Structure 1
Amino acid sequence: MLSTSLLTWLRAFDAAARHNSFTLAAEELHVTQGAISQQVKHLEDWLGTPLFQRGRRQLVLLPPGLRLKLAVMESFQILEQTVTAMRPPARRPVLRLNCSPSFAMQWITPRIGEVLAANPDLSLRVFGEFHALNRSRMTQEHIEAAVRFDMGGYEDVRALSFLDEWLLPVASPEFLADHPEIRAPRDIPVGLMLHDELPWDSARDHEEWNRWLSLAGVPLPKVHTGQHFNLSLLAVNAAISGQGIAIGRMAIVMDALLSGRLLPVLPLAVSAGASYHYVCLDDDNPGVVAVEHWLKQESQRFRRQRQDWFRRNKVVQRKTQPPAARAAA
């Protein structure tokens, strides 16, 4: 018989194996990274064999770990299907929208009442997650629809790019008042740059700041010494509290800009390269179709609002390096 401890260790291993990360597994299970690491270590000691090769940025499953991952995944799937079948049917079908956390909090949830009002038979539940998606993962985890901020390239699922993104350095009014010397991109102190450590799955280190600096035509820092966060919204909140300058995605910072809690540090926005994608397995689910229609409408309204804000604040939009910077390079 499986002990309670062993079941706990297996659950921790399952999450770590799916995410290839103790950090993301801890977020999923609402425990600390140390707890996940310790539980997996207990399991390895109990089995008498290592399951992961531990790298600096990612875990890699060893052959015993891969074998166990498949067995655990299948077992949990059978268990979930069995207990789900035993529950009485819900009064209304529930659509689970799996969404990038910062976008879910700042863009989806403030607007969600509109799609529910227009579709009274729709029960929508939003879950904040940002791991990469494919057909196998969506099928195994019963993800019917999702929103991801990334570079796209989906091959085996239906994916619609419904909203592009622009990056703008932002800070609090108090911070800018204390730093009048910042008048050009080269004036921004490296140590005061606030970073989203992983804008999307497999993004390069310091992706967004480096992109903005490159398109602004200035050299990249040799070392980024500013604070790092695992969510864009955390970096933005740090900027609101006066801790530095965040690279704001307009979908995340628009409300703070409109309310005056944040201000543009410099009037230059650059294209993010990545965009928001609506990802689903099929389009024959009425709830999936309703959410897609709503996202298209809302993104059109948001783009108009964003362009109006850029125009009123005389913000330059740039997609490529300026000619002078290219010539220097």
Structure 2
Amino acid sequence: MTDRHHRRHLANLRALRAFEAVGHHRSFTAAASELAVSQGAVSHQIKQLEERLGRRLLERNSRGVSLTAEGSLLLDACARAFDDVANVLSLVGQETETKVLRIRTGPFFAMEVLVPRMAGFLEQNPGIQLHLSNLEARSGAVEREDAQIKYCVHPPAGDYAVEVLRERLVPVCSPALLASVKQASDLLFSRSVARLHYRNADDWKNWLTHNNLQETQTNANLFFDDQHTLLAAARSGHGIGFSHRAFVEADIARGTLCVLSEETFQPEESYKFLCPKESMEANPALARFRDWLLREIETVR
């Protein structure tokens, strides 16, 4: 039988939850974002926990946050325990009526990230029905979403927001186009090869600047509002475009796209998970989706 006497000495769960989040992210800022509380509240909980235990659990320095030996032991135990509790609560707390979760995102992110992994989320959360849409709420064709995954620089003021993915872009083209020149740089700076742009010309300008390369003019520029269409144009040999490196791995394996340079850059925009702050607190299904998404996105960083 378990000795329950030791449980009297357990720290409060909020402090343990705050510690686990900081230990996982190695960041007070990211932990506060996950828990939807202030950074000061997280720091206060950690301080109380360390004072209660009489041990330092985290080391703070100019490079960030690291774990002490005692902190590593506690983090492993907390992570396992919270995962076990979350899984059991998910099963026990299933409602008799299906919970509908509406997520709005662009077609590219939906097809590249969400759809290939959706079965796993539904298997882990059988009480949730997931509705994906790329229609704007103002169109009147859909009910208002619970959350959206938006490619943007700044989230709307007052919203709960957490960065999901900041891309690492590389230039790509068709193998046939690459085979037409002796070296990749001949394509990158050729006036006769079209540049493929997503929304605007910023990616090209920023990539050249980031890699200290001279800006050159081209005779053709093609602009796209959808990244799928841009990549289709690249596969067909219509020019050079940019894509997140992980999103073209399958194309590279199939021989339908080539990477012209492994020199990457990160655009100012990133994919962000957005929702009203009150929704995150009131909707456990939304929090489960966010946590699942952040875990899954690690495979495409």
1: CA distance, partners of 2:246 / 2:146? 24
Q: Report the counterpart of residue 128 of structure 2 in structure 1.
A: 122
Q: Report the counterpart of residue 302 of structure 1 in structure 2.
A: 300
Shift of 1:190: 6.6
Q: What is the aligned residue count?
A: 202
**Alignment check: 8 A CA contact 2:247 2:300 kept:** no
Change (3 A) 1:100 1:224: farther
**1:173-188 matched pairs, under 5 angstroms:** 173-183=175-185, 187-188=189-190
Shift of 1:224: 7.0
Shift of 1:219: 3.3
1: CA distance, partners of 2:239 / 2:188? 15
2: CA distance, partners of 1:207 / 1:190? 20
2: CA distance, partners of 1:111 / 1:258? 20
Change (3 A) 1:150 1:255: farther
Q: Secondary structure at the match of 1:210?
A: helix
Q: Report the counterpart of residue 288 of structure 2 in structure 1.
A: 290
What is the aligned-residue identity percentage? 25
**1:232-271 matched pairs, under 5 angstroms:** 232-271=227-266
Q: 1:101 aligns with which of 99, 104, 107?
A: 107
> Are 1:112 and 2:112 counterparts?
no
Shift of 1:276: 1.2
Q: Report the counterpart of residue 216 of structure 1 in structure 2.
A: 211
Change (3 A) 1:159 1:232: same
**Cα RMSD after superposing both structures:** 2.8
> Are 1:151 and 2:153 counterparts?
yes
Change (3 A) 1:189 1:122: farther
**1:1-329 matched pairs, under 5 angstroms:** 91-129=97-135, 142-183=144-185, 187-189=189-191, 191-197=193-199, 205-221=200-216, 225-281=220-276, 282-283=279-280, 284-303=282-301
**Alignment check: 8 A CA contact 1:169 1:245 kept:** yes
**Alignment check: 8 A CA contact 1:195 1:232 kept:** no
Q: Secondary structure at the match of 2:298?
A: helix
Look up the equivalent residue of 2:120 and give its one-letter code.
E
Shift of 1:209: 1.4
TM-score (norm 2): 0.60
Look up the equivalent residue of 2:238 and give its one-letter code.
Q
Change (3 A) 1:301 1:147: same
Q: Secondary structure at the match of 1:227?
A: strand
Change (3 A) 1:233 1:252: farther
**Alignment check: 8 A CA contact 1:98 1:128 kept:** yes
**Alignment check: 8 A CA contact 1:103 1:251 kept:** no
Partner deviation per Cα, 1:124-153 (whole Å, 9 max, x = no partner): 011125x6x9xx99xx96221110112134
2: CA distance, partners of 1:169 / 1:163? 19
Change (3 A) 1:244 1:164: same
Q: Report the counterpart of residue 59 of structure 2 in structure 1.
A: none
Partner deviation per Cα, 1:137-194 (whole Å, 9 max, x = no partner): 9xx9622111011213432110110222111001121221123343368634474211
Change (3 A) 1:185 1:274: farther
Tell me, which stretches of 5 or more residues in structure 1 are unaligned? 1-89, 198-204, 304-329
Look up the equivalent residue of 2:260 and give its one-letter code.
V
1: CA distance, partners of 2:250 / 2:286? 27
1: CA distance, partners of 2:190 / 2:242? 12
Change (3 A) 1:185 1:217: farther
Look up the equivalent residue of 2:165 and give its one-letter code.
L
1: CA distance, partners of 2:131 / 2:239? 34
TM-score (norm 1): 0.55
1: CA distance, partners of 2:220 / 2:193? 5
Q: Secondary structure at the match of 2:206?
A: helix
Look up the equivalent residue of 2:194 and give its one-letter code.
L
1: CA distance, partners of 2:129 / 2:296? 19
